[in-house]
Amino acid sequence: MTIFPYTPVEIEPTRIAVIVLQSDETIERDMIALRGDADLFFTRVPSSQVVNAATLQSMADHITASASLLPETLNFDAVGYGCTSGTAQIGVDEIHRLVSEGTKTTHVSEPVSALIAACTHLGLKRLAFLSPYIESVSANLREVLAKNGVESPEFGTFAEAEEAKVVRISGKSVLEAAQQLCRSENVDGIFLSCTNLRTLDLIEPLEASTSLPVISSNLALAWHLGRLSGVSEAMVGPGRLFSTRD
C-alpha cells in the first residue's frame, strides 16, 4: 500500500443549497440552468400533491430534518426553501428559523423574501400576479406581499389544487394568461408564482411582448440567493432582474 500526500483546496467555492418540495418537478432544473459560479446542493422535504393551507403548513414539521440532510461538513453561503405559497403560510421568520436549525448557513431565503427584494430592486409596486393554484392559497400570499408594499391589482389563476397538474400547465397557457393580465395600465411588473410552474423560458419573451419586468418564483429565489452569497456571478439568469444593477 502506498499512502500519498495531498494539498488541500485553498479557495472554497460559493455554496448554495435549495430545499425542494417532494412534489416539485421544476425547481432543480431551473436552479441548475441559473447557476453561475456557485456550487449547488439540493435536499427534499415531504409535501402533499394536494395544495391547501393545511398541507402547506404541514411542511413546517419536516423542514429542519430536510435541511439536516445537506452535507454536515459544509458551511453554506445561502440556503433557500423552495415554496412560495408554503412560505406565506408558514411565515418567513419561521422558515428561516427552521432552516437554520438544520444546517450551517450564513443566509436563508425563500421566494417571498426574494420577490419582495426583487421588487425593491426593480422599483415595482403593482404586479400582475399569475398563480396556478386555487384562489384561497394565493390570497394569503397576496396579503403578505401587500403588507410589504407590493400590491397585486391584477390577479389570475389556473385554479389548480393538484401539484402534479401544475407542472403540466403549458408554457403557451402561461404566456397568454400573463399577457392578458398585464393589459391593464395599473401594473408595473409581472409575477409568475410557484416554483413548480415551468416559466423560466418565458421570462424574456414576456418582457419583450409586454415591455414589463417579469419575475418568477424560481428566478427571484436564484437571484436572491446569489446576492446573499455576496458573489456577483454566483447565480446568473435572463431578464431585467439579473441585468439591472444597483
Which domains occur in the chain, in start order?
A: 15-110+220-238 (3.40.50.12500), 113-215 (3.40.50.12500)
pLDDT at residue number 97: 98
Cα separation, 37 vs 235, whole angstroms: 7
**Is 70 a residue whose pLDDT tops 80?**
yes
State CA 152 to chain mean position distance.
18
**Per-residue pLDDT at 8:** 85
Task: Give phi and psi for 19, each to the nearest 5.
Answer: -90, 115
For the cut 90, the answer to whether the pLDDT of residue 217 exceeds it is: yes
Q: What pLDDT is recorded for position 11? A: 77
User: Whole-model pTM above 0.85?
Assistant: yes
The pLDDT-based confidence of 183 (bands split at 50, 70, 90) is confident
Least trusted range by pLDDT, from 179-183, 194-198, 240-244: 179-183
Q: What's the pLDDT at 187?
A: 97
User: Both ends of the chain: CA-CA distance in Å?
Assistant: 57
Residue 119 is predicted with a pLDDT of 98
Q: Does residue 110 register a pLDDT over 90?
A: yes
Q: Are 102 and 110 in contact (CB under 8 A)?
A: no
pLDDT band for position 12 (50/70/90)? confident
Which pLDDT belongs to residue 184?
A: 82
Q: Which residue has the higher pLDDT, 178 or 232?
A: 178
Q: Give the percent of the chain with pLDDT over 90.
A: 92
Q: What pLDDT is stored for residue 209 in this prediction?
A: 96
Let me know if 186 is exposed, middle or buried by CB neighbors in 10 A (0-12, 13-18, 19+).
exposed
What's the mean per-residue pLDDT of the chain?
Answer: 96
pLDDT for residue 10 is more than 80: no
Which pLDDT score, from 0 to 100, does residue 244 have? 95
* pLDDT for the residue numbered 9: 77
pLDDT of residue 246: 81
Q: Is the pLDDT of residue 16 over 80?
A: yes
- Confidence at residue 204, expressed as pLDDT on a 0 to 100 scale: 98
Residue with cell 400547465: 169
DSSP state of 22: T
Q: Residue 109 is placed in which grid cell?
A: 431565503
pLDDT per residue as tens digits for the range 25-40: 999 999 999 999 999 9
